């Protein structure tokens, strides 16, 4: 098993940077911070979403394992099925 501390994936690095930003920030603006949805290897999960606000669901979008938005996908509020999009990357 690899030690994730030595070489975390790109999603894990972004999450750690966002958490550090929250820790050092003088004012907390929750909607300004995006915590990515990572898999256990530290890469991006196919579906990424912004947080919900009250009863309104957050916007979701589909990405490849490096966090790049997949071409032909839109930002959707709610239930988005990203497994139907082929990014050309096998996981």
User: pLDDT by residue (tens digit) across 71-84?
Assistant: 988 888 877 888 76
- State CA 77 to chain mean position distance: 15
User: For residue 83, what are the contacts with CB-CB under 8 A and spacing of at least 6?
Assistant: 46
For the chain, give every domain's residue range. Answer: 10-84
Q: What is the C-alpha separation between 49 and 15, in angstroms, rounded?
A: 14
User: pLDDT by residue (tens digit) across 7-64?
Assistant: 789 999 999 998 888 888 777 666 667 789 999 999 999 999 988 777 777 889 999 9
Q: Backbone phi, then psi, for 62, in 5-degree steps?
A: -105, 140
Q: Backbone phi, then psi, for 20, in 5-degree steps?
A: -65, -40
* Topology at the third CATH level for domain 10-84: Invariant Chain; Chain I (4.10.800)
Q: What is the C-alpha separation between 80 and 84, in angstroms, rounded?
A: 10
């Amino acid at each position: 098993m690899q030690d994730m501390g030595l070489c975390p994936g790109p999603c894990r690095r972004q999450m750690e940077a966002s958490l550090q930003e929250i820790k050092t920030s003088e004012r907390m603006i929750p909607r300004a911070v995006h915590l990515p949805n990572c898999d256990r290897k530290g890469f991006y999960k196919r579906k990424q979403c912004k947080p919900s606000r009250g009863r309104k669901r957050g916007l979701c979008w589909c990405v490849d394992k490096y966090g790049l938005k997949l071409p032909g996908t839109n930002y959707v509020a709610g239930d988005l099925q990203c497994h139907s999009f082929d990014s050309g990357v096998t996981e």
